[in-house]
Structure 1
């Protein structure tokens, strides 16, 4: 305010001040254009690369910035553009989620009738945040328009007051007291004009021209204060030189820190102060302006260079992701009848997906959108093909369930007949063989159907045992034979030099040749047998730990194929699946946590620790899958 008062002190002649006014007006117009030109430059962002949580965080940050008191119109324009970009991405997600839900509904019900779909909480949150951004933007511009109308009235009244002041000055002789009061009123009008905000652009030029013309008239009536005006201009020159130094210091600071929006905002605030300082002496006016403009150009040149580096990085990221996309294109035509091959291909394509996600940088907007659409489309095609394979596999398991239900019914019918003759015994044995030849059933029926069949078979043989003591005697003999065999295995395990796979196979063959044992001793003898085999396998020096584990597991498989200990192996399969699920969940969680670590020494140590955990877990997953494959061969 002091600088403005000095700027409008005493004018010597009308032509001189009109020239100064023209220079100041050109400064304002030039720098407004310069500011708008630089603010339009901003790097494009591919919001389809961001997760829902990241989009929510982005919108929440924008809302927080928009609620500040000193928010600028450019920030509202940027936030509105972000909302439009995000809405396009969210619309694609909505369409995809609804199509997926509708497809599942049709598969379950056979038609679309009664279908209802509700978007998930993240989608709804993004929509709500977008509406809130739009509401703040609309409210801001509505308030601006109202303020402009109010400011137009205020400035019009100020012009009228300035005219009345001039008429009073020109219509009477002014003494020292009159000059002072007139000057105070003039400065008050100037201060109120400066504090009044913007008005509608169609009126801005007219009002400024009228205001400057009246100012010129006022100063031309106060030639007696010419020396004061010169002093004021020299002081203005000092103030402008100080502002030049501030902007130059900002430029020098770029040597130790990156260019940011905050630096530009600070420079623009300084520029606003520069514009409101009055004219300097004519010989310094243009020099100061060129100096200030040069300092400002240094900042904007740095911003342009930063944008160029960003564009280069975006292009490099695009080329890397293009290579990944080209790698997965052949997967879209993959076909196989093997679960193992499908799982192997899934592991390969998921590795490519991980590479894609790991490339966090943005791509050129249009090319990036197109490439992302093709990449995720290729993944969708592969998993749709895989889903179709497993749907057909599930259909086969349903057929197996029907066949096993028929076997259960036949076994139950034989049991209900109450006859345990050799013919019925042979039928039960044949049913058990057929059962082993039928493949897997749906997971949810696996235990119940097996328990039903086993209960019928066990009941038949229990009935038979109760009627035939000789069979019980045979079972007791078999128990003694198996006990003797176990003791020989345990003894052989003590001589590591004589322990071989061939001898192990001989022990297994002998065990398989021995018949059933009494039911009460079945679990104990089986447990002791597995323990003896485990001890013997451990004594075979030429086998790795994995081969030893596989040998023991194969012994358990053979027990199942011989109709013994199958319930225990089913429990083992269930335990392995549970461990696999837990490990896979842990791996996914650890991999997700790694993405949020900052680039610091502490986070590097944490990341290394998580990498070690992930590698150990992956090794355990491979071992468990190997065990599961062996068990599934027998079930």
Structure 2
């Protein structure tokens, strides 16, 4: 029994040594990670970034925090970015407000009543910074609460462990009681492992108390010393498995690069290793050295990767230097063409996209200086472009005055209320002149166009409304003329009622009815002439010559009512020209027929020409009849 107690004491010393070694390695590893992380953090001159770029930068940091699930590293990085942006934002706010105040004083002569509201992008930067700060505060407040909760949990576990030890020392237990006590002890161990971290001032004390109680428990359970040894052997097997896992991670570097994910996985395995109980004393140090060597492989690879990263930083610097040298000529560019300026803008924006696309960091001092020069060159180009457009804006102001005058003229025509072809032509001319005037300032583009369009639309809407009324009147006239033609045709069928007096009454009534729709005009006139011809033929007391004269007179009156003298003269000229052409064609075709008569195989061709001649003769008679009517009307 004494020998077992002595071995128990030696085991306790070994456990203390192991625990101190593990805690020391954890502190060293965390310190090393912190230093490397600080080395990798790039310097950015935020004063050279635009508001939009600052917003994008903060949104990316916020997205990184949310995607990674509120991790300390991402929160710390985002908070650092937000802090560095804050003085830049304050400077932007001050500059914007001073500019607004200066403009206000210039307009009003004093500062009284001045109010200023920052633009949407400035407010967005503020909101994003506050959100990042809020997430960080909430996270660490939650961490503190969680640590306090864990402290209470671990304190309660220590109390349970003390109660278990006190119970062990004051009562006699059989095998069943010992087993129950052992299960409670293992349950306390598992709960202790599941409990998270606590505030550092209490960590050492709690661990020391916990380890002391564990030692006391095993010292008091000499009967279960064999179980303890079995547990240590099991711990040795588990630790060996963890060693193998870390060693496998090291071997995997042969086929994939070192990443933060691999380091995180190794740290999780390290946490599991810490929480495992001691192994047999002959294996304890060997296992620990094996585990530490496996970890060293990973961290040596990480350090080597950082050396490669420095090389990559230099390469990144050289690539960005080439981009800067490519945009230097843009700083002296000048042109009088909007298209050429826009073309150059696309070119320089392409270089800017290349710059932004190079995500890697550069050597701190050289990179900071190069960034300043790059963004200064961009600023110079856009300042020159802005000056060009300021001069262009003055021309647009002149165009605004010209278009305003056109609006006034269109509104004056609308106010006069005149609706005639001359006025309509004036409005059309104003529209043509409008198209010939160049662009106006962008902020007046829609309002001035809407004003001019409103006046023109109002004029043509009024004209269309008036024409609609005329069309309705034409439809009524069509109905009246149709009714009249029905009565004339009915009277022609009753020959006893036909007389010249009634014919005159019909003609007078026809003349009193106004115009019909243009689409119905020819059909109505043809039907009217046909009805008059039928009616005249029904008058028995008239000779054939008198009937022809009466019909001709009706046709003449119809033509005279529908056309002006100017149009009648033009029609007469057109008909005479057609008559002459037809007479020439008929003479030519008749001559050709005589020629064909001498050929034995020309019967088919001769018949075709005879058909043409007959058609032309009929057309000629109709044209001559029309010519007679027009001459009578003139």
The TM-score normalised by the length of structure 1 is 0.53
Match of 2:355 among 359, 372, 380: 359
SS in 2 for 1:359: helix
- Structure 1 distance, partners of 2:6, 2:85, is 56
Counterpart contact for 1:240–1:288, Cα < 8 Å: yes
The 5 Å alignment of 1:127-526 reads 127-322=126-321, 325=324, 340=336, 351-352=347-348, 354-360=350-356, 361-364=360-363, 367-381=366-380, 383-384=382-383, 442-445=398-401
Q: Deviations over 1:22-59 (max 9, x none)?
A: 21331133034213422442356666787766765665
> Is the 1:159–1:211 Cα contact (8 Å) retained in structure 2?
yes
Q: Structure 1 residues 193 and 389, CA, compared in 2 at 3 Å: closer, same or farther?
A: closer
The residue number in structure 1 matching 2:8 is 13
Question: For 1:49 and 1:257, how far apart are their aligned partners in 2?
Answer: 38
Q: 2:32 aligns to what? A: 37
Q: Which runs of 5+ in 2 are unaligned?
A: 410-431, 446-634
| Matched pairs, number | 410
Task: Indicate the residue corresponding to 2:485 in structure 1.
Answer: none
Does the CA contact (< 8 Å) of 1:318 and 1:364 recur in 2? yes
Structure 1 residues 175 and 288: CA distance shift in structure 2, 3 A: same
Kindly report the root-mean-square deviation, in angstroms, between the aligned alpha carbons of the 2 structures: 4.6
CA contact (8 A) 1:11 1:219 kept: no
3-state SS, counterpart of residue 278 of structure 1: coil
For the 8 Å contact 1:46–1:365, the answer to whether it is kept is no
- Where 1:13 maps in the other structure, the secondary structure is helix
Task: Specify whether residues 120 and 248 from structure 1 end up closer, same or farther in structure 2 by C-alpha distance, changes over 3 A only.
Answer: farther
Tell me how far apart the structure 2 counterparts of residues 103 and 344 of structure 1 sit (CA, whole Å): 34
Cα–Cα, structure 1 residues 197 and 568, in superposed 2: closer, same or farther, change >3 Å?
closer
2:399, 2:440 within 8 Å by CA — same for their partners in 1?
Answer: no
Shift in Å at residue 194 of structure 1? 2.5
Task: Give distance in 1, aligned partners of 2:191 and 2:270.
Answer: 20
Structure-1 separation of matches of 2:389 and 2:70? 56
Structure-to-structure mapping, 1:98-109, within 5 angstroms: none
Aligned partners of 2:62 and 2:132 also within 8 Å: yes
Cα distance between partner residues in 2 of 1:243 and 1:212 = 22
Of structures 1 and 2, the one with the larger relative CO (CA 8 A, separation 6+) is 1
Distance 1:65 1:349 in 2: 32
Which blocks of at least 5 consecutive residues in structure 1 are unaligned?
A: 1-8, 399-441, 454-564, 579-635
Query: CA, structure 1 residues 177+385, in 2 after alignment: closer, same or farther (shift >3 Å)?
Result: closer
Query: What SS class does the counterpart of residue 278 from structure 2 fall into?
Result: coil
Flag the 1:210–1:351 CA change in 2: closer, same or farther, 3 A: same
Q: Is the 8 A contact 1:148 1:199 kept in 2?
A: yes
SS in 1 for 2:36: coil
1:11–1:229: 8 Å Cα contact kept in structure 2?
A: no
Which deviations, in whole Å up to 9, do the C-alpha atoms of 1:2-27 show, x marking residues without a partner?
Answer: xxxxxxx9994212222123213311
Residue 17 of structure 2: aligned partner: 22
**TM-score, scaled to structure 2:** 0.53
Give distance in 2, aligned partners of 1:131 and 1:450: 53
